[in-house]
Amino acid sequence: MRAETVSWRMANVPGNQEIVDTHTHVAISDDPHFPLSASDLTASWWTSGGTIDDVLDQLDANGVGRLVLVQAIGAYGYDCSYAAASAAAHSNRAAFVAAVSMRADDPVADLAALCDAPPSGAVIAGVRLFGVDGTEPAWLADGRAAAVWDFAAEHNLVIVPTVFANEFKHLKVLAEQSPSVSVAIDHCGFTDMVEGDGQAMLFALADIPSLHLKVTSYVLEAAERDDGDAAKLIERLAEAFGANRLCWGSDHPQDQRHDYAGKLALARHATRAFDDASRNAFFNTTASRLFFI
């Protein structure tokens, strides 16, 4: 890993706020200290361009200041070692979202062990709960998720659920039971991948103040494809949830439909009608409040 410096060229949003990317992944394919455990053999983003140095080079080239490193389950499963080491090596600009298997009998025990002895001494800002692995996420309703919510409340962790929109009924119950726990929903719940009106399922969550949306490149690309202009969806989300509950994430380098510059340009274009305060929230202050305080 490269040595971190304290200066990088920032592409500020109005008000001189740096941009924060809330959804990045890292992987290294040739380091025996961090062996891959790839579960998705159809993907290959981790074979090149996915190291922490590669990702930071892209952020620096595009003036993005800080990033959230989200455990890459497709590449490593629940071994968080590389993401943690990367975050620890760049702690002045990187936050770390770990992950534990929710299919385990006692995921809270695994999460507690991870928090007690985090790899590389990384500070854990949040925990990813992955429910799009092809199995039914029974853990959302059988008490395991509720126990993780309780743990998150005690340890000031952000919950980052990766679930389909048809599971939002369970998220709603969990969020209402633990209103102090901040939740950032990955990819807005993949609303285009469920039977029924996925967007209606998403907007039904707008009155729960602890729920935030990670508006990733996946979301923007799908909206651009379906609506011709991603701004149509993003402006509706901002009106319903408030821009202070939205945050941008590139999903780099896993999302390969655009290069990093293209992903940032798409996000800027989708928010072109935002006022300065809303744009600051989308690109900086929501992310800072969730993951960096």
Domains and CATH numbers, the chain: 20-291 (3.20.20.140)
Mean pLDDT of 98-116: 97
The pLDDT of residue 7 = 38
Q: Tell me the pTM.
A: 0.94
Q: Sorting pLDDT into bands at 50, 70 and 90, what band is 17?
A: confident
Residue 275 vs residues 166, 229, 232, 240, 243: alpha-carbon distances, Å: 32, 18, 15, 16, 10
Percent of the chain with pLDDT over 70: 93
Report the alpha-carbon distance of residue 194 to residue 166 in Å, rounded: 6
Report the alpha-carbon distance of residue 179 to residue 197 in Å, rounded: 26
* pLDDT above 60 for 62: yes
List Cβ neighbours of 57 (8 Å cut-off, separation of 6 or more).
Answer: none
Per residue in 268-286, pLDDT (tens digit) is: 999 999 999 999 999 999 9
Report the alpha-carbon distance of residue 122 to residue 91 in Å, rounded: 8
Per residue in 167-192, pLDDT (tens digit) is: 999 999 999 999 999 999 999 999 99
* pLDDT above 60 for 121: yes
Report the alpha-carbon distance of residue 141 to residue 163 in Å, rounded: 13
Mean pLDDT of 228-238: 98
Per residue in 141-161, pLDDT (tens digit) is: 999 999 999 999 999 999 999
Report the alpha-carbon distance of residue 149 to residue 160 in Å, rounded: 11
* pLDDT above 60 for 79: yes
Report the alpha-carbon distance of residue 286 to residue 293 in Å, rounded: 11
* pLDDT above 70 for 24: yes
Report the alpha-carbon distance of residue 72 to residue 78 in Å, rounded: 8
Per residue in 195-218, pLDDT (tens digit) is: 999 999 999 999 999 999 999 999
| Residues 162 and 187 sit within 8 Å (Cβ to Cβ) | yes
Mean pLDDT of all residues belonging to the chain: 94
* pLDDT above 60 for 11: no
Q: Which residues pair with 184 in a beta bridge?
A: 212
Q: Which residues pair with 210 in a beta bridge?
A: none
19 three-class SS: coil
Q: Sorting pLDDT into bands at 50, 70 and 90, what band is 222?
A: very high
Q: What angle do CA 192, 209, 255 make, to 5 degrees?
A: 35
Q: Sorting pLDDT into bands at 50, 70 and 90, what band is 13?
A: low
Phi-psi region of 63 (alpha: psi -120 to 50; beta: other; left: phi over 0): left
Per residue in 244-272, pLDDT (tens digit) is: 999 999 999 999 999 999 999 999 999 99
225 class by beta-carbon count within 10 Å (0-12 exposed, 13-18 middle, 19+ buried): exposed
The pLDDT of residue 9 = 42
* pLDDT above 90 for 2: no
String of b and e for 166-190 (b: at least 16 CB within 10 Å)? bbbebbbebbeebeebbbbbbbbbb
Report the alpha-carbon distance of residue 195 to residue 89 in Å, rounded: 42
The pLDDT of residue 271 = 98
The pLDDT of residue 6 = 38
Q: Crossing angle of helices 107-116/144-155, nearest 10°? A: 20
